[in-house]
Amino acid sequence: TLAMQVSDGIRFYDDKIIERRRFATQVENCMRRGLDNHEFQVWYQPKYDLASHRYIGAEALVRWDSPELGFLMPGQFIGIFERTGFVTQLDFYILDEVFRYQRDRRQAGLPVVPISVNQSRLHIQEQNYLNKMKRLVRQFGTIDGIELELTETAFDFESSSQRAAAVDVIRTLKEMGFRISLDDFGSGYSDLSLLNTLPLDVMKLDRTLLVASEDSARMQSVLTNTIRMGHDLGMRVICEGIETAEQEKLLLNCGCHCGQGFFYGKPMPEREFSRFLQERA
């Protein structure tokens, strides 16, 4: 009967919620030890210049190889880490790893490509963020080869003074020498005033913009004009999530010549990425 189907549906829904809570609790129980035990890994995904056919850098993406929970993707734990505040510790671990990787390459005389690191929105609300960044830069002696990625939702504040404070944090990072990317552009509110307020070097177009443009002339127009706006404002424009030759062609037609996606290279562990760079040097 319908009543039975509905109650089955509710039970199924309840089971899912319970299962999700149980997983979140497990994640919370394992995360600190996971950090101490070096269970978190930095994987690197290349960025590509479609016009000159050259690799121009990479993005650092976290993976968690947990003995208790298995091999996890960021989508499975970053949300939980944000809720608990733990994400800021994770981000500094990743930053430290990338700084170290770049220093080791430099000292070995190997070519260094710029690597961008995702920064949680929680950082720019945290008092100590800039101090920790300054300490890290002092420790490694240089910012060369490190870029930061922030999403526009990071500037989504209730009050304008909070937002102004967040913008100041980014300006200071920029003055310190970091290149700043606006990540996932076009997927959220796309607050255009941010483009004027923030000292941005790179606009990263969200994959949904590209996908939506594949079968819509109207979206192609949005994409083309967003790309032009980015270039007019002096930014490099990179599109994420390119998977096919058709998507590459579409992007070139829309005026974008930098991309990142499975079509050019999947995220890979550090050692594999070093081989990748060596083969292309």
- Residues found near ligand C2E in the complex (CB under 6 A): 45, 61-62, 73-75, 78, 87, 91, 94, 118, 120, 149, 183-184, 207, 240-243, 260-262, 267
Question: Which of ligand C2E, Mg ion, none does residue 257 bind (CB under 5 to 8 Å by kind)?
Answer: none
Residue 118 touches Mg ion, criterion: CB under 5 A: yes
Q: How far is the CB of 202 from ligand C2E (least distance, A)?
A: 12
Q: Does 91 bind Mg ion (CB under 5 A)?
A: no
Our CB check for Mg ion shows the closer of 39 and 184 to be 184
Q: Which is nearer to Mg ion, 118 or 247 (CB)?
A: 118
Q: Report the alpha-carbon distance of residue 136 to residue 145 in Å, rounded.
A: 14
Neighbours of 179 (CB within 10 A): 20
- DSSP H or E run through 189: none
Partner from Mg ion, ligand C2E, none contacting 62, C-beta within 5 to 8 A by type: ligand C2E
* Identity of the residue, 9 or 116, whose beta carbon is nearer to ligand C2E in the bound complex: 116
Query: Burial, 202: exposed, middle or buried (Cβ in 10 Å; 0-12, 13-18, 19+)?
Result: buried
Give the span between the Cα atoms of 91 and 122, in whole angstroms: 10
Q: 137 and 176 in contact (C-beta within 8 Å)?
A: yes
The only residue of 39, 147, 183, 248 in contact with Mg ion, by rule CB under 5 A: 183
Residue 149 interacts with Mg ion (CB under 5 A): yes or no: yes
Instruction: State the nearest-atom distance from the C-beta of 100 to Mg ion, in Å.
Output: 20
Question: At 90, which amino acid appears?
Answer: L
- Closest distance between ligand C2E and the C-beta of residue 278, in Å? 22
Distance CA 24, CA 18 (A): 10
> Cβ 116 to ligand C2E, closest distance in Å?
9
CA distance 138 to 76: 33
In the chain, the largest separation of any two C-alpha atoms, in whole Å, equals: 72
From the list 202, 154, 205, 140, the residue with the least C-alpha distance to 174 is 202
Smaller CB separation from ligand C2E, 10 or 61: 61
**Residue 147, binding choice from Mg ion, ligand C2E, none, Cβ under 5 to 8 Å by partner class:** none
User: How is residue 123 annotated by DSSP?
Assistant: G
Question: Which of Mg ion, ligand C2E, none lies near 87, with the C-beta cut-off 5 to 8 A by kind?
Answer: ligand C2E
**Separation between Cα atoms, residue 16 and residue 31, nearest integer Å:** 22
Binding site for Mg ion (CB under 5 A): 118, 149, 183-184, 240
